[in-house]
Amino acid sequence: MREQEILSVRDLSIQFRGFERTVQAVSGLSFAVRAGETLGIVGESGCGKSVSSLAIMGLLAKTARITQGQVLFEGQDLLNMPEKRMRQIRGNQVSMIFQEPMTSLNPVFTIGVQIAESIQLHQGKSRQQALRDAQDLLELVQVSDPAKRLTQYPHELSGGMRQRVMIAMALACKPRVLIADEPTTALDVTIQAQILQILKDIQVELGTAIVLITHDLGVVAETCDRVLVMYAGSMVEEGAVADVLYRSRHPYTQALIRSLPGFVDAQGETGQRLAELPGIVPIRSPDAQGCAFASRCVARIEQCEREAPRMLTAETGSRYWCRSGV
């Protein structure tokens, strides 16, 4: 029997307010993740993936405003939680691997100090014990010569090493939920595979629920149990990885897959030519009507321009949001 949901995002909507206009960054996002499960969130840059993760962590910029929704962690709504209580959960029970290590690691403190800080804060251990735990964490994420790395600064490490350090920091308190935002971006293929394997191994050991944010469908296919596809701040398709990637129903998901080298369609045939998706991702305002993908969709019908997509369920059990019902 599967465990109940640890993290549940319900109908989350986020806006950014500027001097001249307001942008709808996320619209009605809902998903859930269970212990030991990996949920992939995929989509183009600017589709709302990272903004949603920052909202979960309570780290949105001041220009952002959550207009509706809930983020439930073990039944507690993080969005309505006092900041003092949120600080006890953030980095402790719910942790995050940020996209760019060099902007997340402090250049003036050693690696050891930065990992140990979280352990001291959340677990109340002494500095010496925290440093010993930090060394154990570096060994866990396969950092060579961990004792030496503790005394080094971020600029002294390679990109792959820094990413491992970020994972160690995120795992310092054995979180129930780990959000990994593009954890393999800008790393070569060999290092990518090592990082993803580390995440898998840690999940098996700790039973951590992982939300993996990426634009790489290959990474999703290799590591995730379920996948949520986003476009212009909205969900377009969600389900088991095999169903969404190999039996996709939404025109946007299908276009994404056809754009991949060597894609295999539902009939098991390999595409001969990469498909291109004309147009650009629209910037949505709060009062925008219709489907955000309508202007680029080959299956659009008249209602798509003025009516919101409806949720449909495929025979495989996956869900997709489409007015034309393709």
Beta bridge partner(s), residue 311: 321
Q: Which residue spans within 44-131 are E strands per DSSP?
A: 64-73, 76-77, 94-97
- The structure's pTM equals 0.90
179 Cβ partners below 8 Å, 6+ apart? 53, 56, 57, 94, 95, 96, 97, 210, 211, 213
Could you say which of 228, 253, 274 is where a domain stops?
274
> Could you tell me which of 194, 192, 209 has the C-alpha nearest to residue 56?
209
Quick check: 211 and 179 in contact, CB under 8 A? Answer: yes
Q: What secondary structure does DSSP assign to 162-187, as a single string?
A: HHHHHHHHHTTT--SEEEEESTTTT-
Please tell me the total count of domains within the chain: 2
Supply the CATH number for residue 249's domain: 3.40.50.300
**What is the reported pLDDT for 209?**
96
**What is the reported pLDDT for 14?**
97
Quick check: 143 and 164 in contact, CB under 8 A? Answer: yes
Angle (deg, nearest 10), helices 159-170 and 189-206: 10
Decide if 56 is inside a domain. Answer: yes
Residue 126's domain spans which residues?
A: 107-170
Could you say which of 147, 170, 193 is where a domain stops?
170
Decide if 253 is inside a domain. Answer: yes
Decide if 289 is inside a domain. Answer: no
The verdict on 87 and 181 lying in the same domain is: yes
Per-10-residue mean pLDDT, the chain, length 326? 79 92 96 96 92 95 95 95 94 90 88 94 92 93 92 92 90 92 81 86 90 91 95 96 94 88 57 72 92 92 92 93 82
The verdict on 75 and 120 lying in the same domain is: no
**What is the reported pLDDT for 264?**
53
The verdict on 84 and 195 lying in the same domain is: yes
Quick check: 213 and 41 in contact, CB under 8 A? Answer: yes
Decide if 113 is inside a domain. Answer: yes
Decide if 307 is inside a domain. Answer: no
**What is the reported pLDDT for 2?**
46
Decide if 297 is inside a domain. Answer: no
Decide if 98 is inside a domain. Answer: no
The verdict on 115 and 230 lying in the same domain is: no
Decide if 315 is inside a domain. Answer: no
At 11 the three-state DSSP class reads strand
The verdict on 54 and 129 lying in the same domain is: no
DSSP count for the chain of H helices, then E strands? 11, 12
The verdict on 12 and 155 lying in the same domain is: no
**What is the reported pLDDT for 82?**
94
**What is the reported pLDDT for 1?**
33
The verdict on 119 and 253 lying in the same domain is: no
C-alpha to C-alpha distance for 79 and 58, rounded to whole angstroms: 7
C-alpha to C-alpha distance for 25 and 52, rounded to whole angstroms: 9
Q: What secondary structure does DSSP assign to 254-314, as a single string?
A: HHHHHTSTT-B-TTSPBPSS-----S------TT--S-TTGGG-TT--GGGGTSPPPEEE-
Between the alpha carbon of residue 294 and those of residues 48, 86, 251, 301, the distances in Å are 18, 39, 10, 8
